[in-house]
Structure 1
Amino acid sequence: MATRTPAVGKARNERLFFGTMAVAILAAIFIGFAPSFYLRDAIPAPRPLLPMTPLVILHGLLFSSWVLLFMTQTLLISGGRTDIHRRLGRLAMVLLPAMIVVATLTALGGVARQSGPPTVPPLSWLAVPLLDVPLFAGLIGAALYFRHKPQVHKRLMLIAMIGLLPPAIGRMPVSDIFPGPIGFFGVSALFLLPLFAWDYASKGRPQTATVAGAAAVIGSDIFRIAIWETPAWLAFARWASALVN
């Protein structure tokens, strides 16, 4: 019994950590999108709202369903219900393809809607939601591939959710304090720090999945900033957005 007590405590702390991170991500997404989506017309918005379209509504519902699924899956693991967690995980394989298609179409359609922060032109901003798609799909695909390795799986799932935060952060007042990429990319990246801290506290070093996932997110952010004002990107963005507008 004495030898099992530290292991039980460690497992409990791990469930608490990942559960807390899931709640923090859920809260950030809700706060960011409350004025424009969840509580639209019920609370004041910091800037004029764009008209809603059926595609935008579908996009919001799909990604909201994913966030709720992520939260539910985290709570199921915390409650020791891995059996339900595995069965419910099949829903992710249905949602993911639909999210990829809808997110791509919504991103391209956002150019005509003039979506994005007022400080970034729509064609440049397209780099953010459009390149979110391969980043998110790649991280989730890797997480599903490593679903039989819980320590890898949970870290990649968490990092994939962190990768979704820039649009939510960009809609918060923090974007007025830290305008531009520093606001929506930099503040979102701060959510990676607790995971590195947890790795050091629980494992004594950052885990490979944590380093690889964080490198993918930060590398993607830097890449988007580097290209989004280049003639090549603007030409591509103009061509791609014209396919749906």
Structure 2
Amino acid sequence: MDGRGRIVTGSHGVARDHDFHVRMAVAIAATVIGGFGSFALRGQVDIARVPYWVHVHGAVFMAWTLIFVAQAVLAQRGSRALHRRLGWIAAGLVVVMVPLALGTAAMSVRMGRVPPFFPDTIFVALNLLEVSAFGGLLIAAIRLRRRTDWHKRLMLCAMVAMIGPAFGRILPMPLLGPWGGLAVMSGQLLFVLVALVHDLRSRGRVHAACWIGAAVIAIEGLAVPMLAATPPVIALTEALARS
């Protein structure tokens, strides 16, 4: 809508939509960088003693975050050809990201490097669900890449689904106790809420992709303690800790 409350349509509306997604991409990147950066600045990470695979994990995910921002900027500028080429590079990076994320989580349990505010079973369940939510939304976004309205919203929600660890480093997790997981999920859903409000203001209704993304992220967050209590996850966690 414009200043008089009228719904914005046409090329101007598309441009404003692209501007919004660039701002959201930058805000998400700032959350990721700020979360992990502040964790290190507070002296809670001994960078010199961190295993090499943690550095690789961080570098790959940071590369993905920067590509996410770059893709939003390219879409804003109308650089479709470059956007598509970079998109396939990003898709290839995901092939590395997913096993690396799961491998890093497994090694964290094996080496006793799980954040102290997470029980090991919660940590394992959280990583399994986070990767699943991210992967599911990303696959849907790639399949719907020719439908720009769906693609960019699903990509936004996929990115939000994987920034739980960043919020876990921003929020005072030890003080939150059993409410920590809910607080992290609320932080993630706050990004989606901003997208919902944007849709209402610019389109007059919320796009279905935003509702789907919100549902996936909420299910991911609420299902963590339930999955953590299941025999397979308990057995997997115990096996990793003994190995």
Range into which the TM-score falls when normalised by the shorter chain: 0.7 to 0.9
Question: Larger RCO: Structure 1 or Structure 2 (Cα < 8 Å, ≥ 6 residues apart)?
Answer: 2
Decide which moves more: 110-119 or 148-157.
Answer: 110-119
**Conserved 8 A contact 1:76-1:84:** yes
- Residue pairs, 1:36-75, within 5 angstroms: 36=39, 40=40, 43-45=41-43, 47=44, 49=46, 51-75=49-73
How much has 1:8 moved relative to structure 2? Answer: 2.8
The aligned counterpart of 1:226 is 226
The aligned counterpart of 1:192 is 192
How much has 1:182 moved relative to structure 2? Answer: 2.4
The aligned counterpart of 1:15 is 18
SS at match of 1:118: coil
TM-score (norm 2): 0.87
| Alpha-carbon distance between aligned partners in 2 of 1:15 and 1:72, rounded to the nearest angstrom | 12
Cα distance change on mapping 1:116 and 1:184 into 2, 3 Å = farther
Cα distance change on mapping 1:93 and 1:230 into 2, 3 Å = closer
**Conserved 8 A contact 1:115-1:122:** no
| Alpha-carbon distance between aligned partners in 2 of 1:172 and 1:112, rounded to the nearest angstrom | 25
Residue 95 of structure 2 is aligned to residue 97 of structure 1: yes
**Conserved 8 A contact 1:175-1:184:** no
| Alpha-carbon distance between aligned partners in 1 of 2:128 and 2:81, rounded to the nearest angstrom | 35
| Alpha-carbon distance between aligned partners in 2 of 1:191 and 1:115, rounded to the nearest angstrom | 29
Cα distance change on mapping 1:116 and 1:167 into 2, 3 Å = farther
The aligned counterpart of 2:34 is 31
- Map Cα deviations across residues 176-195 of structure 1 (whole Å, 9 max, x no partner): 56442122222222111011
Decide which moves more: 91-100 or 200-209.
Answer: 200-209
Decide which moves more: 22-31 or 196-205.
Answer: 196-205
**Conserved 8 A contact 2:31-2:167:** yes
Cα distance change on mapping 1:8 and 1:22 into 2, 3 Å = same
| Alpha-carbon distance between aligned partners in 1 of 2:87 and 2:69, rounded to the nearest angstrom | 12
The aligned counterpart of 1:83 is 81
1:34 aligned partner, one-letter code? G
Residue 144 of structure 2 is aligned to residue 146 of structure 1: yes
| Alpha-carbon distance between aligned partners in 2 of 1:19 and 1:56, rounded to the nearest angstrom | 29
| Alpha-carbon distance between aligned partners in 2 of 1:27 and 1:85, rounded to the nearest angstrom | 22
Stretches of structure 2 lacking an aligned partner (at least 5 in a row) = 1-7
Q: Percent identity?
A: 31
2:138 aligned partner, one-letter code? I
**Conserved 8 A contact 2:122-2:228:** yes
How much has 1:114 moved relative to structure 2? Answer: 3.1
**Conserved 8 A contact 1:127-1:224:** yes
Residue 133 of structure 2 is aligned to residue 130 of structure 1: no
Decide which moves more: 24-33 or 189-198.
Answer: 189-198
| Alpha-carbon distance between aligned partners in 2 of 1:115 and 1:130, rounded to the nearest angstrom | 17
| Alpha-carbon distance between aligned partners in 2 of 1:174 and 1:129, rounded to the nearest angstrom | 20
How much has 1:99 moved relative to structure 2? Answer: 0.8
How much has 1:202 moved relative to structure 2? Answer: 2.0
2:104 aligned partner, one-letter code? T
